[in-house]
Structure 1
Amino acid sequence: MTNPATPPHYDSEHPTALPFDTLRVVEIGIALWAIALVAALAIPALHEGDRDWWPWVPVAGMALGALGWVYLRRGRGNAAEA
């Protein structure tokens, strides 16, 4: 029986990172926000009355995604010098 206060022993090797393009992931996210913006503007029920602020949510998502894309594109997001 193991003591619940004692953490289990793990191998000291670090797992290898999955190979994927971070810039591509950010670009897909920006594209999805753009689709959400088109939907919010195309469907009147999504931008009239109390929901008049809804189109600004995808605009903010695209703006933050663009900032993240620039950050990664300049090479600061890859932790190369860390």
Structure 2
Amino acid sequence: MGEADGGSESRVDGIPASEVPDGVTESEVEVLRAMQVPTQRIIAIGLVLWLVALVVTLVVPALHEGERSWWPWGCVAGFVLGSIGFLYVRRGRGNAHDAG
């Protein structure tokens, strides 16, 4: 397609006209929008789950002895990294400003 065919035109939905398959009309193309999710709530639930996992691994001796001695530290790492992510989203920096 050349310039005369509209090969460089951009449509409302951002798809170049040259990339629309033959036989597809403008009304048949659906515009997708970003889904709003409660990001802070999701992160908070994850933090609670990491704490529950930590308590379980510390209470049940079979889950923190021998080759599984690193499991509690994995829970601690998950909680610490999740806390950093929660603070980042809560402060609203960068792309996280629209999250939550």
Q: TM-score range by the shorter chain?
A: 0.7 to 0.9
Alignment of 1:49-68 (within 5 A): 49-68=66-85
Give the alignment of 1:68-79 within 5 angstroms: 68-76=85-93, 77-79=96-98
Report how far residue 50 of structure 1 moved: 1.6
Tell me whether 29-38 or 71-80 shows the greater mean CA deviation: 71-80
Deviation readout 1:23-58 (Å, 9 max, x if unpaired): 000000000111100110010000011211110011
Distance 2:98 2:38 in 1: 14
State the Cα RMSD in Å: 2.3
Matched residues in 2 for 1:35 and 1:18: separation? 29
Q: Which ranges of structure 1 fall in alignment gaps of 5 or more residues?
A: 1-6
Structure with the larger RCO, 1 or 2 (CA within 8 Å, 6+ apart): 1
The CA distance in 2 between the partners of 1:56 and 1:39, in whole Å, is 13
Distance 1:32 1:67 in 2: 16
With normalisation by structure 1, the TM-score equals 0.75
* TM-score normalised by L of structure 2: 0.63
Q: Which has the larger radius of gyration?
A: 2
Letter in 2 for 1:78: H
Number of residues of Structure 1 aligned to a counterpart in Structure 2: 73
Percent same amino acid at aligned positions? 47
- What is residue 45 of structure 1 aligned with on the other side? 62
Unaligned runs of 5+ in 2: 1-18
Paired with 1:72 and 1:20, the residues of 2 have a C-alpha distance of 12
